Amino acid sequence: MTSSRSGFTLVEVMIALVILSVGVIALVGSSSLVTRMIGQGKRTGAAVQVAASRLETLRASSRSTAPPCLDPAFASGGPVTTRGMTESWVVPPAGTSRTVLAIVTYARADGTVTDTLLTVVRCF
């Protein structure tokens, strides 16, 4: 008399649990990585906004005089702390096309980071 039983053995269930546990641990690890990367992206985005705002201010001051680029505000400056970030900017003193550089330095969990934005302002 043979009996046919269907189902899983204890060994099969244990192997399935081990595989499931490894998958869950990997998912938790990648979840923390994604969360950290999102935080770094927000901080980098804020730094770019600070630099872009400075470049727009400089561009506006370059057009506020006739002839252009003679406003005293259209000059190198900094360091200035804005929203927890240190910004400085470099404006060449002469030329019809000036390469303006905005530099923002801020702290992240992995150290201090410096982002740079560059644009050209025409002075004619």
pLDDT, tens digit (0-9, with 9 covering 90-100), for 48-77: 999 999 999 999 999 998 889 999 989 999
Contact 93, 114 (CB under 8 A): no
DSSP string, 32-52: HHHHHHHHHHHHHHHHHHHHH
The CA distance from 123 to 12, in Å, is 76
Classify 115 as helix, strand or coil. Answer: strand
pLDDT of residue 3: 62
**Residue 116: per-residue pLDDT:** 95
What are the residue ranges in the chain where pLDDT is below 50? none
| Phi then psi dihedrals of residue 61, to 5 deg | -70, -25
pLDDT at 2: 62
